[in-house]
Each structure stands twice: as structure tokens, then as C-alpha cells.
Amino acid sequence: MVKGLRQKLKILNADIFKVFSFTAISTLVKMLTSLISVKVIATIIGPSGIALLGQLNSFATIVMIIAAAGINNGVTKYVAEFNDSVEDIKKLLSTALRITLLCAFFSGILMIILSNYLSKLIMLDSSYGYVFIIFGLTVFLYALNGLIASILNGYKEFKLYVYVNIIGSLFGLVFTLILVFIWELKGALISAVTFQSFMFFISLWMIRKLPWAKKEYFLLKIDKVSFNRYFKYSLMTLVTAATAPVAQLLLRGNIMANISVVEAGWWEAMNRISNMYLMIITTSFSVYYLPRLAEIVDTQELKKEIFKAFKIIVTFLLVLFTSVYICRFLIIKILFSKDFLEMQDLFLWQLLGDFFKICSWLLAFLMIAKTMTKEFIISEVLFTSLFLILAYAFMRFAGVVGITQAYALSYFIYFLAMVVLFRKILFNKIKINE
């Protein structure tokens, strides 16, 4: 029995190692392509262009979650749960496809109709309406590509999932650079809303031989049970879409209107640096940590898993963030240009905020893993509202630096709130809802 247990643990560790190896390669490629892309774009279009691109990216994030109906995490969970039942899988995939197409269609139509209004609202200039028309025409391909990725993840096709991501990163880099070199800012904006749509055709070709990629898996009508299952995840994801990206849109727009477009570009550049190292953490969370939390039903085992994650992640963060802060001038020069040097004042508070953000995620992921819909929605709305209130208040006295100070303070409070919410798991021996 002991020998059998050891063998199972050995297999589990081997699987985890494979997952992290594949994930590390994919993340490294994505980081390198992001570095090159950011450098070229920043050099050509400068801080003001980066600010506009940031506005468009935040809007695109919101639209893509809405266009996919916020069900992608649910697709991954339920495909993993029912992958041994062909009939259930057919119901799940058919329902997911129809929901995605319906939401993507209406999202696209609205963007096309409201293109000039959205251009004025998001970019503070009505001359970018063409970008929203292009996005509206291609958004359904973007949504379908996300659905394919979710299904691959659910089937634990990690190798193929990573290949798709690597090819997507490389294709995105080449596509972006070509458009930026030809049309500069216009090219950067168009590439931001179209390259993932073209990736759909590459993804479709790569999955063509998989059993579930056959047409009969997607021909059923919407299944009520599957729809209700997705609805829980949809609520959580759509709330996410209505909080963090909206907050960034509002704050960046406020900086552009009341301070300067250049300083808005500095803040966006700081966020891009954050996104590069957060990418490593979030990828590991979604590929290993989230599924692991979801499958654990014993409270003590769950507690051990969380504390183990804290030991690894906190140590890594302390080393990483100290290095980033010390090398901040060098990082700005490498990633951007001399026009961005004054953004060095943003690093301290941004890094502190990122530290508490990731620490809070280690606990907050429990809300997703255990489908704690009500708690998730309340916490997202409350703490995004807190961040906005603090940011507007601090910005009056400290400018753009005040936003990073508000960011650090709000995530420190969020971390404390997560500790309080999950205190029974962290400090007692009371079982959670399975």
C-alpha cells in the first residue's frame, strides 16, 4: 500500500513538473515577445501613444469577457469534470458555442453602431471610430479562440495548449511589428483588436485531429443544466470585467483629461511592467493552483496547500521585487525610451501593491475554486470601488504617484479581508463547503 502511494505521488509530481515546464516555456516566450513589442511601440509612438493603446486594451479586455459571456473558466472546469462522458461533453460544448456566438454577435453589432461614440468615450477623440468597427467585425473570432483554449485546458492538453500560446505570442509579435512599422499608432491600435482573431484559424488547424473537435460535438441545442452551470461562472467573470478594467479606463482617462496624456502613458507603462511578472504568477495559478484547490475537499489538506504556496510565492516575490526596484532605471531604458524616465517614481508603491495583490490572490482563488459566487462578487465590487475612491483622493495631492499609493493601500486592505474571510480554513479545523 505504501509502495503504491509512493508510486502515485511520483506520477503526480512528474505531471506537475511537466505542467510547470510547459507553462514556463510558454510564459518565457510570451514575456520575450512582450518585451520586444513594448520596446518598439514605446519608441515609435511614445508615452501619449502608449496611453491611448492602454485605453483600448482595457476596453478590449472588457469586451472579450462579455463576448465570451464570461464562461471560459466554467468551460475548463466542467470539461475536466465530465470528460469521461461523451454525452455530457456534447451538451457542454454545444451550449458553450451557442452562448459564445450569441454574445459575440451582439457585442460586435453594438461596437459597430456605437463606434464614434466609443471612440470619443474611450480614446477622448472621435477619429478612432474605425478601430471599433474593425473590432466589432472580428470579435466573434476572438471569442471562439478563447473557447478553444478553455476546452484544451479542461482536457489537460497542456502540451498543445502551450504550443497554441507560443505560436500565438510569436504571431502576435510579428503581426504587431508589421502594422506598427507601416502605420505607427494606427497600426498599434488595429493590431491590439485583431491579432487574436487571426489566431483562431491557427488554433482550429492545430486541434483538427482531436476527438472533441468533430462537428457532432457542437450540434446540440442549448442544454438547460449546462447553461445553469455556466451561469455561476459567468456572473463572477462578468463582475471582474466590470471592475478592474473599468477602473483602469476611468483613471487613465482622468489622467489624460486633467493631468497629461504623457503621464497617463507613464502609468500605463508601469502597469505593463507589472503585467510581465504577474503573467508568470497568474499562469501558474490558472494551470496548477486553481485546479488543485478545486479538487481538495479536506480542510487540513487545503490549509497545507495554501501555506505551501505562500512559502514559495512570497520568497519569490521578495527577491523579484527587490531586484526590479534596484534595477528600475535600467528596466525603463531597456523596455521604453528616455521619454519614460520620470516614471521611476511609480515603482515603489506599484511593487508594494503587486506584492499584496498576489498574496491576496492566493486566498481569493478559493472563491473561484469553490464557486463562492456571492462572496466573489461582493469583494470585487467593494474593493474596486475602494481603489477608485482612494485613487481619486490621492491623485489630487500626489498626481499619478497617488494612484500607485491608492493601489498599494487598497490591496493591503483586500489581503486582510481575505485572511478574515478564510480564517476558519487558515486557523481552525472547520470544513468548508465542498
Looking at residue 16, its pLDDT comes to: 53
Compute the CA torsion angle 240, 244, 246, 249 (nearest 10 deg).
-150
Among 36-45, 136-145, 293-302, the minimum mean pLDDT is found in: 293-302
Handedness of CA 113, 119, 125, 129 (dihedral sign): negative
Express each pLDDT in 274-316 by its tens digit.
988 888 777 777 767 877 787 788 888 889 989 998 998 899 8
At 1, the pLDDT band (50, 70, 90 cuts) reads very low
Q: HSE-up of 186 (CA within 13 Å, CB side)?
A: 6
Cell of 351: 511593487
3-state secondary structure 195-246: HHHHHHHHHHHHCCCCHHHCHHHHCCCCCHHHHHHHHHHHHHHHHHHCCHHH
Say if CB 268 and CB 52 are below 8 A apart.
no
Per domain, the residue ranges of the chain are: 1-242, 246-434
**Alpha helix segments (H runs only) across 114-157:** 115-123, 129-154
Of 112 and 290, the one with more pLDDT: 112
Q: What is the mean pLDDT of residues 329-343?
A: 92
Look at residue 385 in the predicted model and tell me its pLDDT. 94
Cell numbers linked to 185: 499608432
Arithmetic mean of pLDDT, 14-25:
62
- In whole angstroms, what is the distance from residue 367 CA to residue 339 CA? 42
For the stretch 375-405, pLDDT in tens is 988 999 999 999 999 999 999 999 999 999 9
Mean pLDDT of the chain: 88
Asked if 305 contacts 293 with a C-beta cutoff of 8 angstroms, the reply is yes
pLDDT tens, position by position, 194-207 = 988 889 999 999 99
